[in-house]
Amino acid sequence: MVIPVNGLQADAGPAAGHPTVVGRPRRSEAGSPWRRRRRAAIGVGVVIGSWAVITSSGAVNTDNIPTVAAVVHGAADSWQDLLSSLGATLESWALGLAIATVAGVTLGLLVGLSQWADSATDVIVRMMRPLPSLALIPLAILVAGLGVKMTSGLVAFAAFWPVFINSRYAVRQIEPRLLDSGRVVGLGRWGLIRRVVIPATAPAIATGVRISVGLAIVVTVSVELVVGTGGLGGYVLAAEQSGATGQMYAGVVMGGILGWVLNLLFLAAARVLMPWQAAVGRGLG
């Protein structure tokens, strides 16, 4: 039904008895959790099946792109080295991400709460944020040497920025009335941070941490691959240099599986730690 309003036509919505579907709810589009998992499994199956068909048909050189069976055999033949490399990667990833999260949230909240600090650090953030972590490898080697400290330091540098920037801007966008209400009931500065600021900024901070989870994996494996310090990157590099393409691809696939599993674990933890944000999993998913 269309109703004229001040010479213009305004849509008053569908007439009774003639419902118009503008868009389905998000949950209806996504379907049940079981249906979403089934679709994901089908997608993975299609990719693996296509890989198997292409490599078996002779369309590609299997010396460069091995068959699925060759990758499975490569992983089985070196499973101890693969698991050891996975553990080394997780160690560097976890340490770097922990440093980035603590530093990013703390500094982001403090800078966001101070107009002076926000202005004073703006140029520094714009200068440092675009620097790629891999470009800092020579400096990191000089400072920390080769090993977990060097890798985790570069991971922390890369993963810091999404957490810091999300925390900083989330604080700046808090509804002023929330802070005023906290002051009215007698909350001091730290009370406001604990009772108002942190709950209000938690979803944005969680989004920043989730970005950093994936970014940290990318940087960890990339640094290991470039420097050859072990971990999955070192495993892939050693396999490539020895001509074991099956093992090399097994390391690459393991890196992808690791990123997927860590993402699922993060979403599960976010739902537990932020029960007041009922849609956090869907909002981040």
The whole-number pLDDT of residue 93 equals 95
Task: Pick from 17-21, 91-95, 140-144 the range whose average pLDDT is largest.
Answer: 91-95
Mean pLDDT value of segment 5-20:
42
Would you say residue 204 has pLDDT above 50? yes
The whole-number pLDDT of residue 276 equals 59
| Higher-confidence position of 43 and 36 | 43
Residues 52-72 have pLDDT tens digits of 888 888 888 888 888 888 899
Would you say residue 10 has pLDDT above 80? no
The whole-number pLDDT of residue 31 equals 55
pLDDT mean across residues, the chain: 81
The whole-number pLDDT of residue 280 equals 45
Range with lowest mean pLDDT among 61-65, 149-153, 255-259: 61-65
Which domains, and CATH codes, for the chain?
A: 67-284 (1.10.3720.10)
The whole-number pLDDT of residue 91 equals 93
- Determine what percent of the chain is predicted with pLDDT higher than 90: 32
Would you say residue 12 has pLDDT above 50? no
The whole-number pLDDT of residue 212 equals 94
Angle among Cα 173, 175, 176 to the nearest 5 degrees reads 110
Residue spans of alpha helices (H) in the chain: 26-30, 33-56, 68-77, 79-113, 115-128, 137-144, 148-172, 176-184, 189-192, 198-227, 231-241, 245-273, 280-284
Q: Is 65 helix (H, G, I), strand (E, B) or coil?
A: coil
How far apart (Å, rounded) are the C-alpha atoms in residues 109 and 205?
Answer: 10
Mean pLDDT value of segment 242-262:
91
How far apart (Å, rounded) are the C-alpha atoms in residues 96 and 257?
Answer: 20
How far apart (Å, rounded) are the C-alpha atoms in residues 204 and 192?
Answer: 18
The whole-number pLDDT of residue 162 equals 94
Token pair belonging to 19 = 């419902």
Would you say residue 78 has pLDDT above 60? yes
Mean pLDDT value of segment 80-108:
94
pLDDT tier, 258 (very low <50, low <70, confident <90, very high otherwise)? very high
Phi, psi of 9 (to 5 degrees): -105, 125
Q: Evaluate whether 88 touches 223 at the Cβ level (below 8 Å).
A: no
